[in-house]
Structure 1
Amino acid sequence: MATKTKTKKITDDMIISMYMDYVLEHEVVPKSVYKFCKINDIDEAVFYENFGSVEGIQKSIWSKFYTNTKSLIEKNKEYDSFSNKDKMLTFFYSFFELLTLNRSYVLFALPSDRTVLKNMEQLKELRRHVKAFSAELIEDGNSTKSLKITKHNPRLFSEGAWLQFLFILKFWMDDGSAGFEKTDVAIEKSINTIFDVFDNTPLDNIIDFGKFLFKEKFV
Structure 2
Amino acid sequence: MEDQFVKIASLIGDPTRAVIMWTLLDGKAFTATELAIGANTSPQNISMHLAKLLDAGLLCVEKQGRHKYYRFSNKETAYAIEAMASLIPPAAPQKKTSEKHSSIKHCRTCYDHLAGKIGVAVAESLLEQKIILDLDNKFEVSHEGTKWFSDFGINLDEIKKQRRLFLKPCLDWSERKNHIAGSLGASLLNKMIADDWLRRTKDSRAIQITGKGEKELLKHFKIVV
Same fold (TM over 0.5): no
Q: TM-score, length-normalised on structure 1?
A: 0.31
Q: Which has the higher strand share?
A: 2
TM normalised by structure 2 equals 0.30
Q: Which has the larger radius of gyration?
A: 1
